[in-house]
Chains A and B, each alone.
Chain A
Amino acid sequence: KNQVEQSPQSLIILEGKNCTLQCNYTVSPFSNLRWYKQDTGRGPVSLTIMTFSENTKSNGRYTATLDADTKQSSLHITASQLSDSASYICVPQGAGGSYIPTFGRGTSLIVHP
């Protein structure tokens, strides 16, 4: 069964600091991996999409990395802002017959002033 483990479950940082969120997955075969930001009570917002052949993808202050061999991904947030407080969700997607995405439980990030 496809599984996605995200760590840490929650994280508190001070405004302006950097942080890195981790994602391990077992989805196989694998086509791509997405990171989403979900504010409380809102729908997820796409941050990055990486195919299995990509190692890194940036979107402003967000940089995602992917190691398809070890099935690990990370999301690095630079110079955090109060508005970065949200849940960050890792979503690997299958390939080869089933493209159903598997969502992680997310990392809840709180940025304090």
Chain B
Amino acid sequence: EPEVTQTPSHQVTQMGQEVILRCVPISNHLYFYWYRQILGQKVEFLVSFYNNEISEKSEIFDDQFSVERPDGSNFTLKIRSTKLEDSAMYFCASSVEGMSQPQHFGDGTRLSIL
């Protein structure tokens, strides 16, 4: 069964540095999402992306965050200047169609900010 893959599985970065988290969504999916989960807390929506545009974003997704689909297979989340509070598990997800369809999640990238 096709899967969403995320790399790296664990990323350690110094505070203030830029970090790029990478995701390969399922190939025939058109909608892409990023979520985060701070350790011990609930999953939080960050952003959804369709047709090379952001379709929804939460209050968490401020100017420090950006998303990109640089080619036909990858979907990236960039954090420009990381803060300690950005430490979390970041999940990528994709779906065939819009928000009423099942979303398939990757197993996440654990981001640790030192």
Contact = CB atoms under 8 A, between A and B. Distances in A.
A100 B105 CA distance: 16
B29 interface: no
A51 B100 CA distance: 8
A26 B101 CA distance: 22
A46 B99 contact: no
Interface of A is mostly: loop
Given A43-B105, A99-B56, A100-B58, A31 B42 contact: no
Contacts, number: 48
Contact of B107 (A32, A42, A89, A93): A42
Q: Interface size bucket, A side? A: 20 to 34
Interface in B75-114: 91, 93, 98-108
Contacts of A100: 45, 56, 58
Given A41-B107, A43-B107, A98 B100 contact: no
Interface of A: 31-32, 38, 41-46, 49, 51, 89, 93, 98-106
Interface of B: 4, 41-45, 48, 56, 58, 91, 93, 98-108
27 contacts: A31-B99, A41-B107, A42-B108, A43-B4, A43-B93, A43-B105, A43-B107, A44-B91, A46-B102, A46-B103, A46-B104, A49-B100, A89-B42, A93-B99, A99-B48, A99-B56, A99-B98, A100-B45, A100-B56, A100-B58, A101-B45, A101-B99, A103-B43, A103-B44, A103-B45, A104-B42, A105-B41
